[in-house]
Structure formats: C-alpha cells, structure tokens
Amino acid sequence: MITRQIMVSFLLSLSVLGASVASSAAVQTSASSAAATVAARPAGDQARPRIGLVLGGGGARGFAHIGVLKVLEENRIPVDCVVGTSIGSLVGAAYAAGRSSEEMTQRIQAANWDDLLSSSLPRQINSYRKKNDDALGLIGLELGLGDDLSIKLPNAAISTQKIEFFLRELTYAGTVRHFDDLPVQYRAVATDLVTGQMVVFEDGDIVTAMRASMAVPGVFPAVNSKDYVLVDGGLVRNMPIDVARQTCADVVIAIDVGAEPLKREELNSIFSVADQYTRLMMVQNVKPQLDSLTADDVLISPQLGSMSSSDFKKSAEMIKAGELAALVALPQLQRYAVSAGQFASWSQNRLGRHLQSRAIASVEVKNPNQVNPAVLENALEVKTGEPLDLPEFHKNLATVYARGDFSQLDYELHRKGGDDELHILPIEKSWGPNYLNFGIGVGTDFRGSTPWTISAMYRRTWINSLGAEWKTLARVGTTEEIRSEFYQPLHLDGLAFIAPYVSYKTEPLSLWLDGKQFGDYEYRRLTAGVDLGSTLTKYGEARLGPVLNLYKLKENIGIPLFDGGSARDLGVHASLFYDQLDNYFFPSDGEYLNLNAYLSVKNGSDINHYFRLGGEFRTARKLASGAGVLTVRAQEQVGEAPDFVDIRWLGGFLNMSSYRYQELLANRFLYASLQYYQPTSLLPKSYWGLALEGAHLFEQLNAYDEKRWRSSAAAYLAYDSFLGPIYLGMAYGDNAMWSAYFMLGKQF
C-alpha cells in the first residue's frame, strides 16, 4: 500500500512539473486591493523592533511551530506579525486569531487526523441510497463519464470538507475586514495555479486563506478565490521572509520545518525520485529567503529526523522538537524579550481581542449548476440576527455533503458593519453528474469452488429538478447480472418516490444431498416491477409494488431433484430497510434491519398464491478492544411455491461456514450468528475474528434425513481494503467437516 506521505509527495511533484514555477519568476500579488496598515502596539512598546514570525511549510512537521511559540510565550518575546505557508498558515492563523500555544496543542493532539484527512463522513449520516450500495463491495474510487463517453477523474484525492470544520473552530468561527485587524497581523501565502504567481492573502475569509495556502495540488482541491485558482504556497515561497519584512518586520524569526533532500541510497524507487524532485524545488525557493537573513534575525530549524510530512499522529514529538530547537536558539531570541509588564500587556491585548463569532446579517447561497438549490436552502436553516450555531451548522452541512452531489461545501464569513455575512459556496463534482464505479471479487473454498465477479455501476444523477436518478449495475463472472432502476422522487426530500426497475440474473446452483454433490444447474431469473416508496432520510426506506418474476432452471449434470423448465410468478412485494451501521462489513456500532414480504397472486403451478416473509437484523457494539456483532436471519412461507421459485440457501462463509456453498436449501429457516473481532497490528483496518453460528431448518429441500438443527464455528483474519473486504478463514461444525475460505469481497 502506498503511504499517504508517498502519495502526497508524488502528486505534488507532478503538479510542480506542470506549473513551471521557479522562485525567480514568482511575482508577489496581493489578494486584496487594500493597502496594508500598521497595527498599533501596546503603549510603552514603540522603541523595540517589530518582530515578524515566519512559519514555513512542511506538512505535519509544521506542528513544531507550536513548540517554538510556547518558548516565545514563556520567555516574553512578543510577535507583531505572522506570515505562514501551508501548515505554517494554519498555525499562524490560529495564533493571530488569539489562540495560545497551549490551546493549539490541545486541539492538534485531540484531533483524529486519519478522519480529518479522509473524504468520507460517518456512514450513519450518508443517504440510504448511498449506504445501499455498500453491500455491492465496489472499489472506493468514483469516476466520471462525459457525454462523449470519456472517463473523467476527480480533481483531488482528499476533500477538505472536514478540515474546514476543524479550521473554523480553531479560528473561533470569526472574521475581520482586514487581517491587520486581527490581534496579530497575519498573512498567508498561496500559489496561483494558472500563472505560477505568488498570492498573499491580507484580507477576506481567514479559513479560505488557510485552505488555499495548504492546497497541495492533486491531493487537496484548489481554492477558487476572486480571480485566482489557488494551491499550496510552498511552490513559490515555502519560507516567506520577504513577505514578513513587507508586512511589519524589523526583525524576522524564521522557522524552517522543510524536509532535507534525500540521500543517494534513499533514491531507490519512482516515488522516492518524485519526492526528491519536490524537495529540491522547495530548496530552490527557500535558499534565497534564508540568504536574506541578517545577524539580527533568528533562524530556528527543529531536528525532526525521519518524521515525515504525513506523520500527523506524531504531533506531540514534533511540538517537543520545536520547543527544543527554540531553547537552543534562546540566547539569540532573548535579545527581543520585553519586561514582564510589557509582555503581560501585549499578551492580554492578543488573547482579549481574539476572534469572535458575530450575528449573521444575511445568507447568500451560490446556485449550483445541476443540483436544485432548494436542497441547500431547506437543509441549512441558518437563522439571521444571531451568531452562527457552529456545531449545528456543520452538522447540517455534513448532511447535505453526504448526499454525494458536491466535492466541497465551502462557506465564507465576511464582515458587514458589526455583523457577518455568510456566503455558502457549493462546489459540484467536476466529474459528474454521470458516475462510474467498478468492483472485483474472487474466492475459493480450496475444494473446487472458485467464484469470481467483475462489477460496474453507472449512475446518472439530477436528471430533473426533483433529483431523479438512473442507476444500472452489471456483473460478469460466475454470476452474471444486469439490473437497472429509474428512481423518481415525487418530493425534493424523497418523502415519496416511484421506481420502475428490471433485472436479469443467471447463476450456478449446486445440488447437494447429505453432504455430497449430485447435480449442477443454471438458475435464471428475470424480474420487472414498479415500487412506490418513501425515503426515511438517512435511516432507510420503505417500498411496495407489483412485481413479475420469470424463472428458468436448466440441469447441466446430475440427478433431477426439481421439476425442470420455466415458471412465471406475479405478486406484490413490500420491503422495509433501516441502516445505521458505522461500517457495513466490519461494524462496531449501530443496527441494520431488512424486512421483506411477498404475496404471490398468480404463478405457473396449480397453487395460485403463497406468502413469504423474511428478514435480517444485525446489531453491533464495541466490546473491550474489539466489537461484537449479532446477526439473525429468518424466513417463513405459507403455502406451497414451485420448487425452484426464489430458491434460498445456507452454506458458505458466515452463512453456516462449515457447510459447502448452497449445501442447505430451505425456504423456511432461522439463522443466528455471534461474531467478535478486534484490530490486529498487521495492517491498519485488519482484524482477527471468531464466529459461532446456528441454524434451524424447518423444511430442507435437499436432504433425506430429518436433522433440523445445525451449528458451526469459524475463525478468520480480515482486512478492510480499498478493493473490498478480504477474508482468510477456517470453520468446523456439526457435520464434522473442516472448511477453509479465501475471499476478496463476499463471494460465498
């Protein structure tokens, strides 16, 4: 697996190759037409030199900046302006907004960086239609399909949606007219991706400035601000010392957290070479800045060793490294220390004037191109005349984002009089509204059964203003299937919808008698129906509608147990789904319920109707260092259906694991399992697990004996991979048989 560090370095290198950026060609461009003003200093402080703090870029290594700030605070060294690039813009903005180093340390260390740097939101808040696709086990890469059938790729690997929420809280959800109005003057450096020019933010929305400065090309989305397409400022000025001098500085304290060039022996792959290219490009724009330092300036270079730009979990070590580096430089820094009284006055002024959330005077929503803007207006419910309720507002934003229509749901705050204006900036997926997903699955039971599938799903979203969607799934392999549905909401919120659908599926059906295979069939089913239903927001949906099923069973080899040929079955189908699991395959919290009922009103047999009721319930809870999952499945049938109509079976991994796949055919059964699994140290998101299973077969279609109760136990290793769940398991049961499985995806 490619680590996040390698991915970031590789993508950044490619972007630098295409940007034609060099430090000699960089042109400083203000992001505002307003002239910079000189912020007032506390009384009695006019004689000392003005100190500009320069915080360089370096990914997670930039957490060392916080350790330096801690030493500056402890030794009474005030800062008059702070200029940051990339991660330096994050730390600098928090400090300029009024956060102390202690507050920053607490928030940085408490943050779940794996989650913040993930584009996915908690599964529970996803729309049910999106959750319903999880069972397909598709690869987690969504592609676009152009009208000319060209493939379109996402423009960034990671959405900054959750990072933006974190930055808002870090800066008190406040804003100012100009960054000189902050407790400490602030500047953020970004790069215009179109021209390669340096862009210096000195006003506007502070979080927009932070996001633009941190937008590593190809990794995070570029930020469109005014007339610029903005990406990471490290491309042109990773150490913006000249910007600090232009802003306020008589003296510069510069903190360099950039990574050193790799050594010759470390250049051993295409990724390390690409990483080296990035590092050398950074060196080229950093060197002139460092050469401009004078004897009055102070350069601090924390010793971060092998800690990389992606080691966000090592924030404590990096903060400590910054603190130690500042202590080494303390003799130089103490030249700029002030008296206890002066520092107390400066500190009180900085902390006391921290950013504050003001009342929202007005809300402006930029209309999207495809998505009905009422989706945003109805969901966000921002009240004017009072400060923004940040947790509630972020929750509502996340709910809309979870629909899957937007790559970002950005917003900006702009000061108007004594209040703030809220600008909501929805950014639709540039690769939509036609989407493609693919999946692959293979498996073996090491005894001759090797199922495999390749899947593709096409979605066309927002066909009309109510959000109609056409979804088609195709599979080839051991099982072949094509299924298509047109989903038409009758209300924008999906409270009512109508969904015509059609599907065709062919799959092998093995015939087992008392543990021995006697036959092999090809089982085909054509289904067409129309459902009227209601989407229960993120929780689930209910459906009811007529359905026509055409069945065909063809014997390949073996003895005929079923009446061969074809059958027709017309009936009414009803279903109810509820899904609040936090993970479909490896849940640790939540419940899942699927209830379905079918009433046959006419079929090809002598019996005109039968009734079938079935369902599945799963509940998951955290237990010790792992999770426990209880699963119950059952089906009851009243009346007699033709033998091969809607055949159901047990057997296969985690479906009576000690029995062969399809070994137990039964239309009336009760199944239950209890699993426990916990993470391993082998790989992230890898588990070992145990399962106990039991089943009662009220009527088994392929057995001579009358044995009704069955049991099985399984142990397995599993990995929740990018391609889908991977399992390696073994099982033993009351049939006195051992079974072994390997699977990518749920193939048995």
Contact 602, 608 (CB under 8 A): yes
Contact 262, 276 (CB under 8 A): yes
Choose among 238, 213, 236, 234: nearest CA to 290.
Answer: 238
Q: How many CB atoms are located within 10 Å of the residue 269 CB? A: 10
Q: Which two three-digit tokens encode residue 78?
A: 């005030």
Contact 428, 371 (CB under 8 A): yes
Contact 266, 279 (CB under 8 A): no
Q: How many CB atoms are located within 10 Å of the residue 297 CB? A: 21
Query: With 0-12 CB in 10 A as exposed, 13-18 as middle and 19+ as buried, what is 64?
Result: buried
Cα–Cα distance for residue pair 4/6, rounded to 1 Å:
6
Cα–Cα distance for residue pair 212/31, rounded to 1 Å:
11
Backbone angles phi, psi at 188, to 5 degrees: -125, 140
- Taking only Cα atoms into account, the Rg of the chain, rounded to an integer number of angstroms, comes to 31
Contact 532, 491 (CB under 8 A): no
Q: Which residues pair with 572 in a beta bridge?
A: 546, 599
Contact 281, 235 (CB under 8 A): yes
DSSP codes of every residue in 350-364: HHHT---PPBEEEEE
Half-sphere exposure of 359 (CA within 13 A, CB side): 7
Is residue 232 among the annotated active site residues?
yes
Contact 198, 191 (CB under 8 A): yes
Backbone angles phi, psi at 416, to 5 degrees: -135, 110
Place of tokens 């970002």: 408
Q: How many CB atoms are located within 10 Å of the residue 8 CB? A: 23
Is residue 712 among the annotated active site residues?
no
* 3-state SS, residue 487: strand
Cα–Cα distance for residue pair 255/260, rounded to 1 Å:
14
Q: Which two three-digit tokens encode residue 688?
A: 């070992």
The residue type at 347: S
Choose among 505, 616, 495: nearest CA to 550.
Answer: 505
Beta strand extents in 114-164 (DSSP E only): 143-145, 151-152
Q: Which two three-digit tokens encode residue 389?
A: 């309720």
Contact 124, 538 (CB under 8 A): yes
Half-sphere exposure of 598 (CA within 13 A, CB side): 22
Contact 388, 360 (CB under 8 A): yes
Catalytic residue among 45, 232, 297, 531: 232
Query: With 0-12 CB in 10 A as exposed, 13-18 as middle and 19+ as buried, what is 180?
Result: buried
Contact 440, 744 (CB under 8 A): yes
Choose among 580, 591, 707, 713: nearest CA to 658.
Answer: 713
Catalytic residue among 23, 86, 534, 673: 86
Task: Residue count of the chain, please give it.
Answer: 748
List residues with catalytic annotation. 86, 232
